[in-house]
Structure 1
C-alpha cells in the first residue's frame, strides 16, 4: 500500500489552486502528493468570474476582462463603473491545463483518475480506498461534497445557485463586448430570485446564463426557454449555440469547519469556501488556498485552520431571508446596486470592508427583512 505525505480527494478548483501554490512556494520539495478524481479534467465544464484590482497569478488564463457592468430590473438599469476593479473571466479547461502542465513537471505529484470509496482516519495516518486501489497519507485534503449530510440538517438554510448557460455566436453585431451584465432581474421572478447573467466576449459572442437562488432546480426546458426569450428580446434572431454549461452550487452557512479533524481538512465547497450569499467561488478559494499553503508550512492540526468572521453572519442573515421569502432577492440586490457605490459593494462581497463600510452597504438594503432575520437568529441562538 503506497503512502503519501498529502492526498487530495477531489481535484476541483480548491485542490488545483492549493497544489499549484504548494509547488510555486518551493516549500514542499520532496513531499509526495496524490490527487484522486473521477474526472480527468479534459473538458470545459464551467466558467469562473471574479473581480480584481491588480493582476493575479492566474493572469495567463484570463480569457476576458470588463471595466463596466450592467445591473437591471423591471424598472431601472444602471451602468456600473467597476474602477478600481476589473471583472475577469476564466474558462475552466484553460485553468485545468495551466495547473496540470505544472503538475506533470513534478516527480513527486501523481494524478489518479479513479473514484474514492472510503476515507478512514486512524491514529497515525489516513486510509483512502478507491474503486481499484488503496493508499495512506499523513494529511488528507477533501473536496468531495457530501450533499446528503448538508441537506438533511435543519439548523442552517441551504439554497442552490443553479443555472444553465449557453455560449452563442450570432450573425448580428448586437452585443457590447465592453460590458458584462452582472444581474438582470427584469426576467419574471415567479416567487423566486431569478436573473440573467451575460458575459459578452465580442459583438457576436456571449455566454447567457439563466440563474436562480432558490431551493429547487427547474426542468431543463424552463431554463432554456428563458434564455431563448432573453436573446430574442435583445434583437438577436440568427445564432448558433456553440457550447452549454450547467451547475448547482450550494449556498449555506453550515459550519463545515466543525467536521475538520487533526489529519483531514475539508476544502472547496465541501469546506465552505464558496461565498454563501452569492455562490462565487473563485476569489474566496484563491484566498483560502493561499492561507492553507501558509498553514501547511508550519502546522499539522487541521482543527486549527478555520477562523469565523463577521461576513459569515452577514451571509447567514441574507440566506435566512431568502430561505423564508425567496421572492425578496431581486429587491435586496436592486436596492443595494441602484444607488450604492459599486466598488464598495464588490469590496464588501470580497469580505475586505471595515465595519463602517459594512454599514454603508447594509443600509442600502431593505431594512425590515434584515431586522426580522437578525431577531430570529439572535433569539433562536440564545434559546438553544
Structure 2
C-alpha cells in the first residue's frame, strides 16, 4: 500500500489552489503528495469572477474591468470599482496553469479514480478508491456531502443556482468595458433573482440567470429568462458558443467541526464559499494561503478554523434570504445605491474595521436585520 504525506480527495478549485500555494512556498518539495479525482479537469467547465487589487492570476485572466453596472427597476448605477478590478477567469486556463506547474515536481502524483471512503486511524489516514487503497499522514478533503447541511435546521441553506450562456451577437449591444454586476430588473417571482452580464467584446458576452433561493428550477426556466433578456437587449440574431450551469451552497453551517487532527475539509466541503454571496474563487485563494501558512507551524487541523464577526453578519443575511427570499433585491439594492463599491467589496472580503462595518450595515434595511438578530438571540 503506497504511503503519502498528503492526499487530496478531489482536485477541484480549493485543492488546486492549496497545492499551488504549497508549491509556491518551496517548503513541501520533500513531501509525497497525491491528488485523486475521477475528472481529468482538462476542459472549460466553469467561469470564476472575483474582485482583486493584488494582481492575482493576471496572466490568465480573460478580462478585467474597473467599472460595473448595478440595476433594478428604480435606478441604474455605474460603480467605480477602484482600487479593485473585477476579473473573469475561465477554468480551462486555470487548470492548465496549475497542472503545468504540478508536472515540474516529481513528488506530486495524480490518479484518475473515484474516492469511495477515507478515514483517520490513529496517527495515519486511509483513502479508498474503486481500484485500490492508500495511506497518508493527512488528508485534504474537498468532496462535498450535502446531507450534512440538509439533515439539520439550525443553519439554513440558500442555494446560488444559475445557468449561463456565452453568446455571440450580430448586433454590437454590449459595453465591453463595463459588465452588469447585478440586474434585479428581471421579474423576482417571490425570490432573489438577477441577471449577470460579462461582456468580452461589443458582440460577445456571458449572460447568467442567477437565483439566491432554497429550490432550484427546471433548466428550461433559466434558459427562457435568458432568451427574454437577450430580446430586451435588442439582439435579434445570436449564436450560443458555450453553456454552463452551477449551484453553490450558501450557508453558515460549521463545516470545520467535522475536521479531525489529520483530516481537513476544504472547498465547499469546508465552507470556503463566502456564505452571504456565494463568491468562491477569491475566498478560496485566501483560505488556501492561510491553510499553507498553518501547515508550516501546526499539524492539528482542529485548530485551523477561527470564527469571526463576519460569520455572524453572513448568518443573519442567510436567515433573511431563507425565510423571506423576496427581500434579496431590496437588500443588495440598498447597499449599491450609494455607489460605494470599494467599501462593500472590502466588507465582503472581511477586511473592514468595525466602524466600516457599521457604514455598510447602516445602508441595509435595518428592520430585517434587527428582526433576524432577535430571532437568533431568542
- The alignment's TM-score, normalised by the length of structure 2, stands at 0.99
Gaps of 5+ in 1: 380-384
Task: Tell whether 2:311 aligns with 1:312.
Answer: yes
Deviation, structure 1 residue 165: 0.1
Task: Name the structure 1 match of 2:77.
Answer: 78
Task: Name the structure 1 match of 2:103.
Answer: 104
Task: Tell whether 2:42 aligns with 1:42.
Answer: yes
In the TM superposition, what are the counterparts of 1:284-303 in structure 2 within 5 Å?
A: 284-303=283-302
The answer to whether the 8 A contact 2:67-2:178 is kept is yes
In the TM superposition, what are the counterparts of 1:21-60 in structure 2 within 5 Å?
A: 21-56=21-56, 58-60=57-59
CA RMSD of aligned residues (A): 0.7
The answer to whether the 8 A contact 2:9-2:141 is kept is yes
Task: Tell me the distance in 2 between the aligned counterparts of 1:59 and 1:201.
Answer: 16
The answer to whether the 8 A contact 2:331-2:365 is kept is yes
- The alignment's TM-score, normalised by the length of structure 1, stands at 0.97
Runs of 4+ in 1 over 4 A off after TM superposition: none
The total of aligned residue pairs comes to 378
Task: Tell me the distance in 2 between the aligned counterparts of 1:337 and 1:286.
Answer: 25
Task: Name the structure 2 match of 1:335.
Answer: 334
Task: Name the structure 1 match of 2:214.
Answer: 215
Task: Name the structure 2 match of 1:382.
Answer: none
The answer to whether the 8 A contact 1:61-1:95 is kept is yes
Deviation, structure 1 residue 325: 0.2
Summarize deviations over 1:188-242 as a string: whole Å, max 9, x none. Answer: 0000000000100000100000000001110111000000010110001111000
Deviation, structure 1 residue 21: 1.1
Task: Tell me the distance in 1 between the aligned counterparts of 2:26 and 2:71.
Answer: 46
Task: Tell whether 2:272 aligns with 1:273.
Answer: yes
Task: Tell me the distance in 2 between the aligned counterparts of 1:337 and 1:362.
Answer: 12
Task: Tell me the distance in 1 between the aligned counterparts of 2:187 and 2:112.
Answer: 42
Summarize deviations over 1:35-63 as a string: whole Å, max 9, x none. Answer: 0111110111111111111312x121111
Deviation, structure 1 residue 176: 0.5
In the TM superposition, what are the counterparts of 1:1-384 in structure 2 within 5 Å?
A: 1-56=1-56, 58-379=57-378
The answer to whether the 8 A contact 2:80-2:339 is kept is no
Deviation, structure 1 residue 75: 1.3
> 3-state DSSP class of the match of 2:62?
strand
The answer to whether the 8 A contact 1:340-1:364 is kept is no
Summarize deviations over 1:300-324 as a string: whole Å, max 9, x none. Answer: 1000100011100000000000111
Task: Tell me the distance in 2 between the aligned counterparts of 1:114 and 1:365.
Answer: 47
The answer to whether the 8 A contact 2:77-2:339 is kept is no
